Amino acid sequence: MRAIKRFLSIGNGALAVAAAMAVFVAAVLAWNAANPIDYLIYTVKGTSYAKGVVEKIESSTVAWDDSVDRNLGTQKLVVLITSGDHAGEEVEVTNDLSATHNIEASEGMAAVVKVDDPRESVQPFYSVFNYDRTVPIAAILGLFAVIMGAVGGVKGLKSLVGLAFSLFTIMEFLLPAIYHGGSPILMGCLAALIITVLNMVLLNGISRKTFAAMTSTMAGVLVAVVLYLVFSGAMRLSGYNLDEAEELLAIHTGTGLDVGQIMFVGVVISALGAVMDMCMSVASSLFEMARLRDGIDGRQIVRSGMTIGRDMIGTMCMTLILAFAGTAIAALLVMVAYGAQLDTLLASDFVATELLQSFIGGMAVVLSVPITAVVSSFAICGLPQGREEEPSAAAR
């Protein structure tokens, strides 16, 4: 309770940022209501999804298959529908278990049911779509929030708010804006600016240190823009090389979506967190050093910033690049199984795209070090006696 009171306390811009976030959320929701996503691809009339609980397994031909190390077969289930138009009804559901779609039902299991109801005169056909993962997802999110609050205190609570706001900005602002034909580069940079400014002020208060970190972060994003434009052209890569290009082209036909620059949005959003972390870490170290040492000059600050940054860029870039690589393991295994050699892998759209995204993000992180050092130097040397103002308790 004390941490919540401190979180809500007026001081160092926290309340102003909360108000700005609320206004932004309201404006985005209003815009989305006025501009709904009304173009969908591959829609099937009469198909819907509902939640349900397996009450009984009437019959089963499920048996172990050594070739795939999984149970295969068919189950006939009685499921109580708990949501949608058929809520409260007990229905018979067919559940086919294959090697790739293997949702083995048990009594009492929560499931999502696919309802095929094309005409009123025809009995609907029900099948198991997937597990209902609402409860475990809510549990892991709740545990994450508890750990953040317990370990991080008021900063942890602010981080949760910032994370939720960032996800909202991406899902409700960035994606709809691009979907309706907005420039991916412009919208990506605007989303990065909104996330950076509001999150950094929320977490660290209004100060020259925060301003220096925000300025450096956006400069790092602009570096990523330039690098992307140069190397995507040199490598002849664009959104048309993505695995989802066919679906994106269908969306383009209906909404004017700019398929060619979609890849850039992934580069910016993936690198933004690492760039923000690097810029704030370097700026915070330099401002604390200047606070403890009177008379430090700009050149010393820049040198110290470079020294601090060099100790961080190795692990930071490793984290960023390994995160990209981790998502590609399954696809790479499939390509190896097809006999692809190193030169073939490098020539493929998939690997080239992953390399472009990974190393542009990595270069943006590395170049943010000298940028932050220089920006912090200007900000610190403008303070009386080279000291940074002490942040209020609400920002700690």
Report pLDDT for 316.
75
Which residue type sits at 364? A
Enumerate residues 6+ apart whose C-beta is below 8 A from 133. Answer: none
Angle between helices 329-337 and 349-381 (to 10 degrees): 150
Element at 55 (helix H, strand E): strand 47-60
Report pLDDT for 120.
60
CA 157 from centroid of its chain's CA atoms = 19
**pTM value > 0.75:** yes
Q: Are strands 90-97 and 110-116 parallel, antiparallel or unpaired?
A: unpaired
The DSSP result for 96-141, as a single string, is EE-SSS-----TT-EEEEEEE---TTS--EEEEEEE--HHHHHHHH
User: CA–CA separation, 153 vs 363, rounded Å?
Assistant: 33
Report pLDDT for 373.
92
pLDDT in tens, the chain (396 residues): 454 445 444 455 677 888 889 999 999 999 999 988 877 776 556 678 889 999 999 989 989 988 888 889 999 999 999 988 788 889 898 889 988 888 888 899 999 998 887 666 567 888 889 999 999 999 999 999 999 989 988 888 888 999 999 999 999 999 999 999 889 989 999 999 999 999 999 888 888 899 999 999 999 888 888 898 899 888 888 888 888 888 888 888 888 888 888 888 888 888 888 888 889 989 988 888 888 877 778 888 888 889 888 888 877 777 777 776 777 777 778 777 777 777 777 777 888 888 888 888 888 889 999 999 999 998 888 644 444 444 444 444
